[in-house]
Chain A
């Protein structure tokens, strides 16, 4: 396995994130696998930003600390990352940001090459905005990528901005490309390859999965890290019978989605913790009215506004318990970006079949990072689930929406517009026709009817997955995005395997107990302070963990750190 780790650091507004994505795309177009991780503050201009791409001839899923190449746009950008520089690291420093002093470079073991990046940009385009394009030229040359591919990526990035912009950016690219070749010879030579991969963020994969799941209505209020799912889908309105509504608040978001779903279209909303907190009463409404609903939940560190642009897994117990009263829900926790696609598609079927809310729980780390994944089939089918057909609605108006004769609690629904399907969808407890009731028997029976959905769901949810050698001495357990890091760990050592939970509710107890029983040493890994996944496993299986790794500083885990921990 060959792998390279590239990083770029600068100020917000310097185009760091754009070029980072382009580098990941460039690797992909050479038949490689790539992961692109972005860090940025909650600011529009100024503040430290980084993009880092790990790429390899074998699948990679997470970011790595030790760098092969660092491009630093300024002094702060350089100093911030000195610890990630090793003897083999090549550092490209933008000398227009002020020369590095001996003191600055004291701790730097790598080879520093000073280049006037801003000046190159100005020379080619008259402004320093193209500094990131210069950096792209440098990157292409260092790794020996095909510059034709890079130049076409530059053209794609400026599509619609006019020929002149593309031409001058090509010139900026070439200045960087040639300047670095005068300093060193390429580390490698990559050939263009046709691949059958796509490269997307988690948000984009969720958006694609929603389209594959037949989404027709998405209402939301912007909140990092879920906003980009709304942006992606808003753009798709031109291609699909889909309405994306940026609403006045998250309460409206969930309630409009519930309204649209009641009227018969597959509906979804999305937010982060603060926004979802406002949706909680609506969640309960979906529960009692038995209205299908898909919710994207992008975690970021709280409490309250917390760290808006960083990552976290600290909302699990909130999601499991949100909503007053008791009702069924499914909580999907996709790991890889491909899994974000698959599980979002599945979420729509489960929601529609069982008339329940289904969560896709992710976080800033997975939703805003890019990963390469196998392109799935582009032609998909969407079934109609748990509806009354027109012909089955009897002319004597005897249809009962909340009939107690319901297998696994599923009573097929009618939608407005269907003759003889009239009923009231009720936030009050109700009888089989939907009219409000306070009758003790009926209350108990309707509660039990809704609870029975569990029996069907437990057979349909995605099962825990064992990754790595079966008899490894250490088994790490994780849910959600953390599996990306642990997959890379498994590639580094044969001494570990991983149990990944792509669904935490209903909890797949039998399968989990079976896998855990084979483990020699169990270690829970999750991104919160209180061990929320651990609590859930203990509650559902009685299994306790003697060891755990918890991270709650807004940063993702690193496979290298876990390997070090293991070796100590």
Chain B
């Protein structure tokens, strides 16, 4: 058993992201978070979506699962139920999480499954070379919406609140220190956690740039904001003129999904795998 270090988590593959991509900051931050948490390397599973964000799968040496586009949360839920002693984190894009796989996000939150979902929200489909995404601003011209997007952007934070998520945060890829703390707190929260990370994509998103974010974001923490009131969290999450970042809502009292299951009271499912099985009881019902 050895804990994750900066060296141990280094994969042999060099990141292939574009220069200046916000994904570099996020990768640095989550590695830092893992190292600071002093986690045994075998007890972490990272489940990746498919997108530029999900390509992080090759850059970490961990137990990993590079899923299908949209399905990382489902794989993560299965992993967590099979062995709830693992820390399970999902790394995926907003197209993946709020578009293709939204149903799973809502279910994971409603069930309070103990997984952390980290969304690289770059407001565009980047790996597929720049179409609109569920968080692209209305009116934006993209390859798939040359005359401007007709839809309103979705709000992931209010959506998560409405789905009873117990940990809802927004971070900014340009603020590593805060992101590290939010990821650590999310992983330490025993239950569902959403960390929506604003991620500049200098190649395809010419609207939401570093400069744009620099002028827009402000830190909730510095305002003395307390993240324990759902209504207040909702109000903050509705702000668009300025963009608050930090922890919006936290309810540590909610019981995680696996804690409701009496069959997991003493051991994980995996630990209870049996070599000998008796079918005496179920057969009794059919005589």
Chain A contact residues, CB within 8 Å of chain B: 197-200, 204, 207-208, 211-212, 214, 216-217, 219, 236-237, 239-243, 245, 247-249, 251-252, 255-267, 281-282, 285, 289, 375-376, 378-384, 415-428, 434-436
Contacts and interface: CB of A to CB of B under 8 A. Distances in A.
A419 B50 contact: no
Interface in B47-77: 47, 50, 55, 57-58, 61-68, 70-71, 74-77
Interface residues of B, number: 62
Contact of A378 (B41, B85, B267, B279): B279
A514 B282 CA distance: 40
A276 B58 CA distance: 31
B74 to A, nearest CB: 3
A285 B43 contact: no
Given A200-B286, A237-B263, A436-B57, A382 B277 contact: yes
Given A239-B281, A258-B75, A263-B270, 6 more contacts: A199-B286, A214-B277, A256-B74, A260-B81, A289-B65, A417-B86
Contacts of B261: 243
8 contacts: A249-B103, A252-B74, A256-B78, A266-B273, A416-B86, A417-B85, A427-B50, A435-B11
A197 B83 CA distance: 37
Interface in B273-287: 273-283, 286-287
Interface string B1-20: 11000000001110000000
B282 A239 contact: yes
Interface in B88-107: 103-104, 106-107
A379 B277 CA distance: 6
B103 A208 contact: no
B21 interface: no
A422 B55 CA distance: 18
A452 B272 CA distance: 32
B45 interface: yes
Contacts of A421: 42, 63
B269 interface: yes
B256 interface: no
Contacts of B269: 216-217, 241-243, 260, 265
A216 B273 contact: yes
A200 B106 CA distance: 37
A423 B277 CA distance: 31
A236 B78 contact: no
A378 to B, nearest CB: 4
A252 B107 contact: yes
Given A243-B261, A281-B68, A436-B57, A251 B63 contact: no
B77 A256 contact: yes
Contacts of A425: 64-66
B278 A264 contact: no
Nearest to B266: A241
B82 interface: yes
B79 interface: yes
Contacts of A211: 277, 279, 282
Contact of A243 (B13, B64, B81, B107): B81
Nearest to A254: B74
Given A212-B277, A265-B270, A424-B64, A257 B283 contact: no
Contacts of B68: 255, 281-282, 285, 427
Contacts of B78: 217, 219, 255-263, 267
Taking each of B47, B261, B263, B282, which has the highest tally of chain A beta carbons within 10 Å of its own beta carbon?
B282
A424 B277 contact: no
A257 B269 CA distance: 13
Given A219-B78, A435-B58, A243 B277 contact: no
Contacts of B74: 247, 251-252, 255-256, 259
A198 B283 contact: yes
Contacts of B82: 216-217, 243, 259-261, 263-265, 267
B282 A208 contact: yes
**Which of B40, B45, B65, B76 has the most A CB atoms < 10 Å from its CB?**
B65
Given A255-B67, A285-B67, A416-B79, A248 B283 contact: no
B277 A380 contact: yes
Contacts of A200: 286
A378 B280 contact: yes
A427 B66 contact: yes
Nearest to A242: B263
Interface in B221-255: none
A70 to B, nearest CB: 27
A377 to B, nearest CB: 8
